[in-house]
Amino acid sequence: MTQDAQEIIEINKRKGSLAQPGPIQFGVMSVSDVTRDPVRDSVPSEAERIQASLKEAMKVEEAGFDVFAIGEHHNPPFWSSSPTTFLAAVAARTKRIILSTSTTLITTNDPVRLAEEYSILQHLAGGRIDLMLGRGNTAPVYPWFGQDIRQGLPLALENYNLLHELWHNDVVDWSGKFRTPLQGFTSIPRPLDDVPPFVWHGSIRTPEIAEQAAFYGNGFFANGIFWPVDHFRRLVRLYRQRFQHWGHGTADQAIVGVAAQTYISRNSQDAIREYRPYFNNSPVYKGGPPLETMIEETPLLVGSPQQVIDRILKQREYYGDYARQLFLVDHGGLPSDTVLEQLDILGEEILPVLRKEFAAERSPQAVAVPSHSDMVHAKYGDKPARQPKPHDNRGDNVTGTSPYIDSDPDQRVHMPSLY
């Protein structure tokens, strides 16, 4: 790790794992590409693709999954430039599933904006959100948002440090390298129940991000869809070791998530035949190794239901007892009706078997992803959660110009003078 990275990370060390023993979560993620369907020779409009994605997100809950996640992109052929807007619409139409990102760009988004937008989403969704932070895979995004891609890693480290500060402190005085300083600043609204959303750090290549996740006791997501499994096994091993080093629990209690892309048919020959044109047309696979190589070496699972089950169960050998499994289903121009059929197959034929088999093999100490209620209980125990509210004399901050947050002596926090 560079000296700059170490200095950034040392600013705000936080101890204590929130994770408790529990079952693995299964979910669906989307990268939101608007791609030509090579079989039907048609391209959906952005409006059609967005509405189809909304229908698919609702289907995720109906099919029995635990999580729906959407990526963030600002370039064609993708549509999801505003994940919080889309997830708010999903939240209004669902009751149970956790809503997440896959990923949120920590490098090119202002941390102040992230703190505020995701706090609002957390309130609207009743706490059932988390977010995955990452640097993305599209180089031109950096100058579009006034940043330098050569500073991508320091940006990721510094920006999350500020986001963490904004969510854990009512009033923030802060200065860094990449944005103007803050003095006496309060991001609004405050997180629901004064507890921020759970955070994942996603990476496909960078040990420093695994270190950052471990340092804060956050989750680490190995978004291994397009890379060999051995590469991600090394990153997960590093994260687990450093999670224990920073005192958040044992290496086995580190909170790991992984991804896989699936296409399922009744037998492997049909699955490969049906999926091949979509693979060849994919904006990320096109021009790379052939389909058979990607199936063999990466978590691209194309086959029968039993083949997909066997491959997913084998991931436990690579990563240990992990906490979240996401599936990418809607990529490469696959039409919406086919995506919905794939979700039905996953929900009816694969999820029940995976839940049973993982439960049978899973260590009793294997951790679950902390829910909002888990985090509230970890912070407050049996006491009511603090509910920040404006004062008559609040000025620009929740705490106002008064030297205390409110009349409760347990909540007294002295403020720096704003004048």
List pLDDT tens digits, range 117-152: 999 999 999 999 999 999 876 778 888 989 888 999
Strands 172-174 and 182-185: antiparallel
Classify 148 as helix, strand or coil. coil
In a domain, 53, yes or no: yes
Which helix (H) or strand (E) element contains residue 415? Answer: none
pLDDT in tens, 6-38: 433 343 344 445 677 899 999 999 989 999 999
Phi, psi of 341 (to 5 degrees): -65, -40
Instruction: Enumerate the H helices of 94-177 as residue ranges.
Output: 111-124, 141-144, 152-168
Nearest to 323 by CA among 364, 359, 367, 363: 367
Classify 265 as helix, strand or coil. coil
Classify 190 as helix, strand or coil. coil
In a domain, 415, yes or no: no
In a domain, 404, yes or no: no
In a domain, 151, yes or no: yes
Residue pair 356/309 in contact (Cβ under 8 Å)? The answer is no
In a domain, 20, yes or no: yes
Distance CA 346, CA 352 (A): 9
In a domain, 172, yes or no: yes
Classify 89 as helix, strand or coil. helix
Residue 315 sits in which domain range? Answer: 3-368
Cα four-point dihedral sign 16, 134, 289, 44: positive
**Residues paired with residue 258 on neighbouring β-strands, in sequence order:** 222, 325
Distance CA 105, CA 268 (A): 36
Distance CA 224, CA 227 (A): 5
In a domain, 396, yes or no: no
- In sequence order, the 6+-apart residues with CB closer than 8 A to the CB of 113 are none
Q: What is the pLDDT along the chain (419 residues), one digit of tens a residue?
A: 444 434 333 433 444 456 778 999 999 999 899 999 999 999 999 999 999 999 999 999 999 999 999 999 999 899 999 999 999 999 999 999 999 999 999 999 999 999 999 999 999 999 999 999 998 767 788 889 898 889 999 999 999 999 999 999 999 999 999 999 999 999 999 999 999 999 999 987 789 999 999 999 999 999 877 677 888 899 999 999 999 999 999 999 999 999 999 999 999 999 999 999 999 988 888 888 999 999 998 889 999 999 999 999 999 999 999 999 999 999 999 999 999 999 999 999 999 999 999 999 999 889 999 999 999 999 999 999 999 887 554 445 555 544 444 444 444 444 333 22
- The domain tally of the chain equals 1
Longest dimension (CA), the chain: 72
Phi, psi of 23 (to 5 degrees): -80, 160
Q: Take residue 96 and report the two structure tokens written for it.
A: 């149970």
Neighbour-count burial for 3-33, b at 16+ CB within 10 Å, e otherwise: eebeebbeeeeeeebbbeeeebbbbbbbbbb
Distance CA 69, CA 78 (A): 15
In a domain, 23, yes or no: yes
CATH code: domain of residue 32: 3.20.20.30
Which helix (H) or strand (E) element contains residue 203? Answer: strand 198-203
